[in-house]
Amino acid sequence: MTGQPFDYFWLGKLSIDSLPFVEFIRDPNSNTAVGAFAKAAAIGGAMGLMVLLTVFGKWRVFWHEWLTSLDAKKIGIMYIVLAMVMLLRAVIEAGFMRAQQMLAVEQPGPLAPEHFGELFSTHGTIMIFFMAMPFLIGIINVVMPLQIGARDVKFPLLNAISLALTAAGAVLIMISLVIGKFSTGGWSGYPPFTELAFNPGAGVDYWIWAVTLSSIGNTLTGINFAVTIYKLRAPGMTWFRMPLFSWTALCTSIIMIFAMMPLTVATLMLALDRYAGFHFFTNALGGNMMNYTNLFWLFGHPEVYIVILPAFGVFSEVFSTFSGKRLYGYHSLVFATMAIAVLSFCVWLHHFFTMGETADLNAAFGIATMLIGVPTGVKVYDWLLTMVRGRVRLTTAMLFSIMFMVTFVIGGLTGVILANPPVDFAVHNSLFLVAHFHNMLIPGTLFGMFAAYYVWFPKMFGFRLSEKWGRISFWCWSFGFYLAFMPLYALGLMGAMRRSAQWFDPQYLPWLVVAFCGALLILAGLASQVVQLWVSIRDRDTTRVPGGDPWDGRSLEWSMSAPPPEYNFAVIPQVHDRDAFTWMKKNGTSYTAPEHYEDIKMPKNSIVAPVICALTAALGFALTWHIWWLTIASFIAVWATVIARSFCQNTEETIPASQVREEHERWLRSVKALKPAPREHETTSANQGLAEVVV
């Protein structure tokens, strides 16, 4: 960067070496080959998408119906697609890590240690910020407004901007695969390792900006959801008539409002250290890395509940729907959820019991940690009792939910073990910990999101997913999970530390082989989900559910056509009961035309969100590579866009009452023509989305 002021001005720290494939061409070996494969996959994927859009002439649709849309359902679906793409990448990376660890017992293994470090850093970062978060936010976007009887979220444009920021972060992390290298600092990015002195490259900066963008997006999402639930519930939907999924959405949003900020602060402080020579977390001149650890876990622990609570909500809906029963212990579930939300702010220190504080402090936080087990236990009993004496139907969603309950209890037990500071000192940062948190996150968050995907897919797209392939994927994921992660408990107790690229104890080998087989099975599970999607789209004409109620649902989201109209409800319903739609079905008001219709105001499409996505991705890239002209230009452009938008006056369009009437009546007529399906035929083509009412 010295001798070439011109290049430095225009290109910052970018150089020939940051280009893709250069490393592989210069020095072809197993390590660079894996890297080249990943780059090729990323570039190929992006090009493939563009070719497909061009060949099928779908660019216009893509732009007008999706990218610029402010409809919460579409924004939700885009979030979910983003999450699935990122899931695919992160699981493949996990496969490579398992392979490396298996092949690196008393030998170096195929991957260089630095490369292994990048793998666990991207895997962890993606799984948390670009898989779990977008997935659950997507599901909430689709389901929550429908469930509480609202036409949209309160701030639709803000919603699109949140997605834009998250997507920009994801774009950045995909670019890091192709140009330059990613951080090796793990998903938690602890300094001083991530400080300039030890990590001068661009990798940590990629991590900082990707995470910062997504955390800002998530804060805004939390605000949006919380206000929506507070202010836009349908008449009659009192707090204690609100479906449990919406409750968990509310609690998750509240945690997001308060807990994303510590992360943003931590990453920005780290950035100030790295870019401007501040001394927050450095080793010299009064910096203190423990400060970072504290801030990171002030976010990190509540984050765990951000990703688990919505899954709890999904499971609650699934257990009650597929047992054909009212949810058992509704009030206790609500209070347990609230208790967890508050407690989640009281326990963050358990992530650094070993940092050197006094035993008193550790004891206080250890006890607080164990307390969280109580409300969680309450939930498990409520779910069990919901199934008791119900007519349980083992659909794919239900299978995932039951597997969750069994597996999650095991993970919770290992968590209570870890909450003892003396025990934690022994297994801290070992594979025991890795096993524990995967044991919570995979059956909890991931299976929860899968269950949500299976339940609400017909609502989103109007046809069901293939049950056969769903089951195959279920068995692969479940057995795969046990095979991949139970050995890690043993390995951790044997002394295997996490983030190790190489081992020196031959006894580890058999366990690592089993774990690798588990990872393969998980990959097979993921592959069968891809096949499932393909098969289901191909056969969609046999699985359509125009009635909109394929599972004999209980809450309002099942009360309209599938997919729902843009405005969700032709008229906003009056809620009489906690299971609002079941009440309507029993009282014969579910498919009746209202007395009169009103004009509906909906937000117009807006190009603001895609513009902000492009600009903030450019901003992150420019900051990462020290391209200052682009940094300044894109920063100004982002705010100029926002200000320009504030001068737009016509941001809404009116759907006339006559059109609403016509669409609604057409749907009511088509429902009349449908044959109600008994529950035994729920997964056959007899299910057209109209449930038999058993009084």
Partner 1 sequence: MEMEPDQLPDSEAEDPRQEFREYCIGGILAVLLTLAAFGLVASHWLDTLGCLMVLTLLAVVQVLVHFRYFLHIDLRRSHRDELQLILFTGLILFLMAGGTIWILWNLNSRM
Partner 2 sequence: MNKIRKYSRHPGLNMGSTDPETHEAAETLLFGFWVFLMSDLVLFALLFADYAAQSQHGVAGGPTPGDILDLKNPFIETMLLLVSSFTFGLAALAMKYRQDRTRLVFWLVVTFALGAGFVGLEVYDFTDMISKGHGPQTSGFLSAFFLLVGTHGIHVSSGLIWLLVLLVQVFVFGLNRNVKTRLMRLAIFWHMLDVVWIGIFTFVYLFGVA
Which residues lie near partner 2 (CB under 8 A)? Answer: 154-155, 219, 222-224, 226-227, 230-232, 257-258, 260-262, 264-265, 269, 272, 276-280, 284-288, 291, 295, 298, 643, 646-647, 649
Of the candidates 137, 150, 318, 519, which one interacts with ligand HEM according to CB under 6 A?
Answer: 519
Q: Quote the least distance from Cβ 346 to partner 1, whole Å.
A: 6
Q: Quote the least distance from Cβ 244 to partner 2, whole Å.
A: 22
Nearer to ligand HEM, 397 or 575 (CB): 397
* Contact track, partner 1, 201-240, x by CB under 8 A: -----------------------------x----------
**Residues 299-338 interacting with Cu ion (rule: CB under 5 A):** 301
**Residues 456-515 interacting with ligand HEM (rule: CB under 6 A):** 484, 498-499
By the 8 A CB rule, do 124 and 190 touch? no
Q: Quote the least distance from Cβ 247 to partner 1, whole Å.
A: 16
By the 8 A CB rule, do 135 and 310 touch? no
If contact means CB under 5 to 8 A according to the sort of partner, which of ligand HEM, partner 2, Cu ion, none does residue 466 touch? none
Region of 92-100, 208-216, 405-413, 611-619 interacting with ligand HEM (CB under 6 A): 92-100
User: What is the three-state SS of 8-73?
Assistant: HHHHCCCCHHHCCCHHHHHCCCHHHHHHHHHHHHHHHHHHHHHHHHHHCCCHHHHHHHHHCCCCHH
Of the candidates 8, 21, 258, 479, which one interacts with partner 1 according to CB under 8 A?
Answer: 258
By the 8 A CB rule, do 313 and 307 touch? no
Q: Quote the least distance from Cβ 232 to partner 2, whole Å.
A: 8
State which residue has the least CB distance to ligand HEM.
124
Note whether 651 binds partner 1 by CB under 8 A.
no
Measured CA distances, 685 to 463, 467, 558, 607, 675 (Å): 10, 11, 18, 40, 11
Nearer to ligand HEM, 202 or 522 (CB): 522
252 CB contacts (<8 Å, ≥6 apart)? 136, 140, 222, 225, 305, 306, 309, 310
Among 313, 451, 430, smallest CA distance to 382 is for 313
Q: In angstroms, rounded to a whole number, what is the distance separating the alpha carbons of residues 331 and 238?
A: 13
If contact means CB under 5 to 8 A according to the sort of partner, which of Cu ion, partner 1, partner 2, none does residue 269 touch? partner 2
352 CB contacts (<8 Å, ≥6 apart)? 290, 293, 294, 297
Whether cis (ω within 30° of 0) applies to the bond prior to 113 is no
Note whether 363 binds partner 1 by CB under 8 A.
no
313 CB contacts (<8 Å, ≥6 apart)? 244, 245, 246, 247, 248, 249
Name the DSSP class of 652.
Answer: E
If contact means CB under 5 to 8 A according to the sort of partner, which of partner 2, ligand HEM, partner 1, none does residue 358 touch? partner 1
Q: Quote the least distance from Cβ 448 to ligand HEM, whole Å.
A: 11
Q: Quote the least distance from Cβ 246 to partner 1, whole Å.
A: 17
If contact means CB under 5 to 8 A according to the sort of partner, which of partner 1, partner 2, ligand HEM, none does residue 349 touch? partner 1
Among 406, 238, 396, smallest CA distance to 318 is for 396
Nearer to partner 2, 225 or 477 (CB): 225
Q: In angstroms, rounded to a whole number, what is the distance separating the alpha carbons of residues 151 and 491?
A: 51
Among 440, 421, 426, 407, smallest CA distance to 493 is for 426
Note whether 80 binds ligand HEM by CB under 6 A.
no
Binding-site size, ligand HEM (CB under 6 A): 25
Name the DSSP class of 126.
Answer: I
DSSP string, 75-98: HHHHHHHHHHHHHHHHHHHHHHHH
* Torsion-angle region of 279 (φ positive above 0: left; ψ -120 to 50: alpha; else: beta): beta
Nearer to ligand HEM, 474 or 569 (CB): 474
User: What is the three-state SS of 399-451?
Assistant: HHHHHHHHHHHHHHHHHHHHCCHHHHHHHCCEHHHHHHHHHHHHHHHHHHHHH
Does residue 677 sit in helix, strand or coil?
strand
Among 344, 159, 336, 333, smallest CA distance to 255 is for 344
Side-chain-side CA neighbours of 686 within 13 Å: the count stands at 11
Q: What is the CA radius of gyration of the chain?
A: 25
Note whether 345 binds partner 1 by CB under 8 A.
yes
Nearer to ligand HEM, 209 or 551 (CB): 209
> For helices 72-103 and 447-461, what crossing angle results, to 10°?
140
Note whether 621 binds partner 1 by CB under 8 A.
no
Region of 258-266, 363-371, 437-445, 625-633 interacting with ligand HEM (CB under 6 A): 437-445
* Contact track, ligand HEM, 150-179, x by CB under 6 A: ------------------------------
Binding-site size, partner 1 (CB under 8 A): 19
Region of 150-158, 348-356, 520-528, 683-691 interacting with partner 1 (CB under 8 A): 348-356
Residue type at 411?
A: G
**H/E segment holding residue 654:** strand 652-655
**H/E segment holding residue 671:** helix 657-673
Note whether 188 binds partner 1 by CB under 8 A.
no
Of the candidates 196, 346, 423, 494, which one interacts with partner 1 according to CB under 8 A?
Answer: 346
Q: In angstroms, rounded to a whole number, what is the distance separating the alpha carbons of residues 580 and 586?
A: 10
Note whether 85 binds ligand HEM by CB under 6 A.
no
Region of 121-129, 235-243, 352-360, 663-671 interacting with ligand HEM (CB under 6 A): 121-129
Note whether 298 binds partner 1 by CB under 8 A.
yes
Nearer to partner 2, 479 or 635 (CB): 635
If contact means CB under 5 to 8 A according to the sort of partner, which of Cu ion, partner 2, partner 1, none does residue 515 touch? none
Note whether 436 binds Cu ion by CB under 5 A.
no
Q: In angstroms, rounded to a whole number, what is the distance separating the alpha carbons of residues 439 and 443?
A: 6
Q: Quote the least distance from Cβ 345 to partner 1, whole Å.
A: 5
Q: In angstroms, rounded to a whole number, what is the distance separating the alpha carbons of residues 535 and 474?
A: 16
Note whether 260 binds partner 1 by CB under 8 A.
no
Region of 297-305, 519-527, 559-567, 574-582 interacting with Cu ion (CB under 5 A): 297-305
Residues within the interface to ligand HEM (CB under 6 A): 91, 94, 97-98, 120-121, 123-124, 127-128, 132, 186-188, 434, 438, 441-442, 445-446, 484, 498-499, 519, 522
